[in-house]
């Protein structure tokens, strides 16, 4: 039996975003980006979002265990290594398996018994969590809570290999619990494998479902500075307002403080009308709201795609000849990207499997919240080492 919980997420790009379609095309640019096949508006695919978030969640978890390994070893040794046996372990996975082996009749005893040991270890560490680094700090924009997703029992046998494609898909999930890092891929038990899915003999679909990140507000240059454009259908789909569509030869301004009659969006000039109706942007979070407040322009659904595509960033690059140090002949190419300052919206749905009493949507949500910080450093998509990819992700207030 399962229960589904969903929530909206928003993001703002701090670098241009490049999610390529692969290969070269004949046209305005060589390297094009992914677009919605119907509206032709660029987007960030849900597959890109889920793939990077899986990796960042695994990085967060492994970073926490690496930072606290010595303390965790002391806690577990004091409680479960009564004979003071020398344990040669440099990671939590090896540590808990060695301790379990000392209490089991053989290394491959029925997995249910080994799982009982892991649950005890996780609970013991959780009870001593105030001694660990990183648990007294609140993540960016986080409210204080008592949820501690790192101490889900399956995390003790996770590894960084849970972040990528499984290189041992034919293994059994029970056997993977005690094998060395070189002999296993996905563990099949940690919060990363359960949230994003894993490939084993007993493969499992992930509990989290990610939508595409679609453009909500797009920055465009005007003679009065940057303005953010959107359209009635986009606002309606995002749940931010109900505005009737209108003629494509005019635009509607939320706050026309200058009382100007015409305004350019890039190279196009439009007649300005005052917007009748309201746009709810308080759910986007204070940071995004403060950036776009009083700078929103609504354009017709029929032209929003053309305006966005005409104002994408285009980056020109050239390959360098390593022998001469100069530009390589015939190696000039261009790439388009969604510009920085673009606001996106999407949603995540999480399945609560009631039969798994140790794992619930609250743990998964906290894991996603604490790992999203990596988007601000490592980004998403291609060309991230060349000034592309970074964005900030927010959960709906």
* DSSP, residue by residue, 62-108: HHHHHHTHHHHHHHHHHHH-TT------SSHHHHHHHHHHHHSSSTT
pLDDT range class, residue 5, cuts 50, 70, 90 = confident
pLDDT per position as a tens digit, 231-283: 999 999 999 988 888 888 899 988 765 678 899 998 899 999 888 777 888 88
Is 132 exposed, middle or buried, given 0-12, 13-18 or 19+ CB atoms closer than 10 A? buried
Q: Judge whether 338 lies within some domain.
A: yes
Reported as a pLDDT band with limits 50, 70 and 90, residue 348 is: very high
Nearest of 289, 168, 270, 158 to residue 224 by alpha carbon: 270
Final residue in a domain of this structure, among 210, 229, 260: 210
Q: Which residues pair with 95 in a beta bridge?
A: none
Residue-averaged pLDDT of the chain: 85
In a domain, 333, yes or no: yes
Asked if pLDDT for residue 138 goes beyond 70, the answer is: no
Taking 90 as the threshold, does the pLDDT of residue 300 lie above it?
yes
Beta bridge partners of 280: none
Q: What is the tally of structural domains in the chain?
A: 2
Residue at 186 is within a domain: yes
Residues 192 and 273 in one domain: no
pLDDT above 80 for 54: yes
In this prediction, residues 183-197 reach a mean pLDDT of: 88
For residue 93, give every residue at least 6 positions away whose Cβ sits within 8 Å of its Cβ, in sequence order, or none: 156, 157, 158, 159, 181
Where does the pLDDT of residue 137 fall: very low under 50, low under 70, confident under 90, or very high at 90 and above?
very low
> In this structure, are residues 364 and 351 in contact, taking their beta carbons and an 8 Å threshold?
no
Domain span at 102: 53-131+144-210
The stretch 161-170 carries a mean pLDDT of 79
Lowest mean per-residue pLDDT among 6-20, 236-250, 302-316, 343-357: 343-357
Are residues 299 and 173 part of one domain? no
pLDDT band for 344, please (50, 70, 90 cuts): very high
Question: In this structure, are 264 and 365 located in the same domain?
Answer: yes
Q: How far apart are the first and last CA of the chain?
A: 29
Residue 363: its pLDDT value, please?
92
Residue 114 belongs to some domain of the structure:
yes
pLDDT of residue 139: 44
> Once rounded to an integer, what is the mean pLDDT over residues 324-352?
89
pLDDT at 142 over 50: no
Confidence check: pLDDT of 291 > 90: yes
| Residues 188 and 278 occupy one common structural domain | no
Regarding whether 362 and 218 lie in a shared domain, the answer is yes
The structure tokens 């997703």 sit at 149
Residue 149 — very low, low, confident or very high, per pLDDT cuts 50/70/90? very high
Which among 53, 57, 20 has a CA at the least distance from the CA of 315? 20
- Mean local confidence (pLDDT), 62-67: 92
* Structure token pair of residue 388: 């592309």
Looking at the fold, whether 202 and 245 belong to one and the same domain comes out as no
What letter would DSSP give residue 195?
A: H
* 243 and 157 in a common domain: no
Residue 138 lies in a domain: no
Q: Are both 340 and 375 inside the same structural domain? A: yes
Q: Are residues 158 and 37 in the same domain?
A: no
């Amino acid at each position: 039996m399962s229960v589904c919980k969903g929530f909206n997420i928003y993001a703002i790009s701090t670098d241009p975003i490049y999610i390529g379609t692969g290969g070269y095309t004949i046209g305005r640019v060589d390297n094009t980006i992914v677009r919605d096949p119907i509206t032709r508006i660029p987007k960030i695919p849900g597959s890109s979002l889920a793939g990077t978030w899986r990796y960042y969640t695994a990085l967060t978890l492994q970073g926490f265990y690496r930072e606290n390994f010595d303390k965790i070893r002391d806690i577990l040794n004091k409680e479960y290594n009564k004979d003071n046996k020398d344990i040669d372990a440099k990671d939590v996975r090896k540590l808990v398996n060695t301790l379990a082996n000392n209490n089991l009749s053989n290394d491959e005893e029925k997995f249910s018994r080994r799982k009982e040991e892991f649950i005890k270890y996780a609970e013991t560490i959780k009870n001593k969590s105030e001694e660990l680094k990183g648990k007294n700090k609140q993540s960016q924009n986080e409210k204080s809570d008592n949820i501690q997703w790192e101490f889900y029992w399956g995390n003790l046998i996770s590894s960084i290999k849970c972040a990528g494609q499984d290189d041992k898909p034919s293994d059994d999930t029970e056997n993977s619990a005690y094998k060395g890092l070189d002999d296993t891929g996905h563990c099949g038990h940690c919060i990363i494998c359960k949230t994003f899915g894993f490939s084993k003999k007993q493969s499992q679909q992930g509990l989290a479902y990610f939508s595409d990140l679609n453009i909500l507000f797009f920055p465009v240059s005007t003679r009065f500075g940057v303005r953010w454009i959107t359209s009635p259908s986009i606002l309606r789909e995002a749940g931010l307002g109900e505005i009737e569509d209108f003629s494509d030869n005019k635009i509607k301004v939320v706050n026309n403080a200058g009382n100007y009659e015409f305004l350019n969006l890039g190279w196009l000039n439009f007649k300005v009308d005052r917007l009748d109706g309201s746009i709810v942007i308080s759910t986007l979070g204070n940071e995004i709201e403060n950036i776009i407040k009083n700078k929103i322009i609504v354009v017709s659904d029929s032209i929003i795609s053309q305006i966005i595509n005409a104002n994408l960033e285009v980056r020109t690059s050239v390959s360098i000849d390593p022998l001469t140090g100069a530009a390589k002949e015939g190696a000039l190419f261009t790439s388009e990207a969604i510009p920085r300052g673009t606001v996106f919206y999407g949603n995540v749905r999480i399945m609560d499997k009631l039969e798994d009493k140790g794992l619930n949507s609250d743990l998964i949500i906290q894991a996603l919240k604490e790992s999203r910080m990596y988007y601000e450093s490592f980004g998403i998509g291609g060309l991230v080492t060349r000034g592309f990819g970074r964005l900030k992700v927010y959960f709906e207030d």
